[in-house]
Structure 1
Amino acid sequence: MTLQTLDTGLFKLDGGAMFGVVPKSIWQKQNPADERNLCNWALRCLLIEDGKRLMLVDTGTGDKQDAKFFGYYDLPNGKTLTGAVEQAGYSINDVTDVLLTHLHFDHAGGAVRYTDASHTKLEATFPQATYWSHSGQWDWATSPNPRERATYLRENFMPLQENGQLKFIDRESLNLPGIELLYVDGHTEKMTLPTFQLGERNGKPRTVAFCADLIPSVAHIPIPYVMGYDVRPLITMDEKTNFLNRAADEEWLLVFDHDPTVEAATVERTEKGIRVKDKGTLAELL
């Protein structure tokens, strides 16, 4: 099994929303904001090759929304998901599986694309792929609460069910050895965090975990650093505690979807709690 990150560019989100109750005087030291209080964030995906399987984790924002919508996030950014896949040495037809950690627009937007210049017809971006979501997240997204309604955009995921490419990962097996799926509910209902075992290192299994929006960046590793977007922030704190304790004990390599500069890191216990041990690109740390 081989893993690599895909860079689909940066977008901007409000710094206060990204750090919740943490004061700007603290978070801006790591994530400086512009004059609108917006910080740069990555749209990072993960590509896994294992034999005849080529799985993509998350799909970025895509390009289906109008200029007004994307204007809030300083999009488009000049990079595309399909371009990132091709740069990695593959075509869209090579992708066999797409795992959507959750269906917020910045994670599922690239799953579907327009087939025509008039923007009237939609199709799956990866025509040969099976798309995977948790049924609880699907139900949450298709009947959204008022807090999340603006980020669950039906054009990003409904065509997948309509064309028969969608399966629910809690009902059917992915059948990919070496993968463990963790489910968390603080950020949104049944967000899926995949972990991948890549042999051993120092006598322990070498595990890579994709953090999704449980820990979107290195700066979010301290337990109280919880996004204002989370629907259940106290549950997020409990989930982060359990996740990071396991990551420290088992020496996991964590991959961050939104950190603008740091792809991956390991963690360790300190007097201040669990903190970063080593950080860099995924390739360097592997």
Structure 2
Amino acid sequence: MKLIPISAGDFHADGGALFGVIPKVLWSKMYPSNENNFTQLTLRCLLVDTGGHKIVIETGVGNHYPEKYLQNNGVTSVTELEKSLAENGYSTEDISDVFFTHLHWDHCTGAVKNVHGKPELVFPNATMWSSKKQWEHSKISNPREKAAFHTDILNFIHDSGKLKLVENEGELFPDFEVRMFDGHTPGQMIPFIHTKKETFVYTSDLIPTTANIPLLWIAAYDLDPVMVMKEKAIFLEEVAAKNQVLFFEHDYYTECATVAKTEKGFVLKEKFKLADLI
């Protein structure tokens, strides 16, 4: 099995949104921001090559959006995904599966590209995967979350016939296990990837950055913060006990980390690059 980080560019978020009720005097010591209170984030996808499957986890944002929208969100590139794949020896045609943890715009709309005003699939040979709960939720959502779902793109993915909906937790591919977490958004699927040496967990928005590891450091984007705390507590108990490796989609400064349980709660144990373990 090969695990390869794939870049889909960078973006930013307001620090208050990223850390919720945690005061800036505390979170700014753990994660920097600029003069406008924006925290630098990244769109770090992951290529999982099992031999039988070539799976891309997440796809970034794509080239659908007006320049002003991209500027407001700090998006640095809308073409980085294909470039990064090519730099690692893969073409978009090679990819057999595209896995969406959930369907917010920064996680999935890069699976489609705008070609002279018409949408096309970036990965023409790939099956795309979302949880059924998240797909159904994206259709009803709520006024607060609605802007994160870009319906036209999601409908194009669905109507392509390439989308499959996952209903249950368990092994989706060999050594590729998915579990459901509902606090951030209903039906967020988190992959647990089991290699001979380690288990890697793609954290998505369950734990966006290393600074979000402490139990109460929860983003304002989460729909149900109380549920997030419960889910995080169970999740962190396991990853700390089993020394599983967290792979961060959005942490600009840290690719991977492990977690320790202390008398003061769960804390960052060690930071490193994925290449250091593979």
TM-score normalised by the chain length of structure 1: 0.93
Task: Quote the residue 2:15 is aligned against.
Answer: 15
Partner amino acid, structure 2, of 1:60: G
The 1-side partners of 2:264 and 2:191 are apart by: 27
* Structure 1 unmatched ranges of 5 or more: 201-205
1:219 to 208, 211, 218: 211
Kindly provide the amino acid, as one letter, of the partner of residue 32 in structure 1. Answer: P
Deviates more, 1:212-221 or 1:171-180: 171-180
Deviation at 1:253, TM superposition (A): 0.6
Any residues of structure 2 matched to 1:1-286 within 5 Å, and which? 1-77=1-77, 80-116=80-116, 119=117, 121-170=118-167, 175-200=172-197, 206-286=198-278
| Cα distance, 1:179 vs structure 2 | 1.4
Q: Which amino acid in structure 2 is aligned with residue 225 of structure 1?
A: W
Kept in 2: contact 1:101–1:107 (CA 8 A): yes
Question: What code does the residue aligned with 1:139 have?
Answer: E
SS at structure 2 position matched to 1:274: strand
Question: Would the alpha carbon gap of residues 79 and 271 (structure 1) be closer, same or farther in structure 2, given more than 3 Å must change?
Answer: farther
Q: Is the 8 A contact 2:170 2:177 kept in 1?
A: no
SS of the aligned residue for 1:113 comes to strand
Contact 1:253-1:265 at 8 Å conserved across structures: yes
Name the SS for the 2:194 alignment partner: strand
Counterpart CA distance in 2 for 1:56 and 1:251 is 24
**Which residue identity lines up with residue 77 of structure 2 in the other structure?**
N
CA shift, 1:155, in A, is 3.0
Q: What is the alpha-carbon distance in structure 2 between the residues aligned to residue 181 and residue 78 of structure 1? A: 28
Residues 188-242 of structure 1, C-alpha deviation per residue, up to 9 Å, x if partnerless? Answer: 0110000011014xxxxx2111011000110000000000010000100111111
Q: Is contact 1:105-1:156 (8 Å) kept?
A: no
Superposed displacement of residue 70, structure 1? 1.4
Cα 1:25–1:145 change in 2 (3 A) is same
Shift of the alpha carbon at 1:112? 0.8
One-letter amino acid of the counterpart of residue 156, structure 1: I
The secondary structure found in structure 2 opposite 1:12 is strand
- Aligned-pair CA distance for 1:30: 2.5
**1:196, 1:52 → 2: CA distance?**
15
Question: Alignment identity in percent?
Answer: 37
Deviations 1:98-126 (A, max 9, x none): 0000011110120111122xx2x112110
- Gap regions ≥5 residues in structure 2: none
Structure 1 counterpart SS, 2:134: helix
Deviations 1:12-49 (A, max 9, x none): 11000000010001111222222221110011111100
Q: What's the C-alpha RMSD, in Å, of the aligned pairs?
A: 1.6
Q: Which runs of 4+ in 1 moved over 3 A?
A: 76-79, 171-175
Q: Is the 8 A contact 1:92 1:125 kept in 2?
A: yes
DSSP-derived class of the 2:146 partner = coil
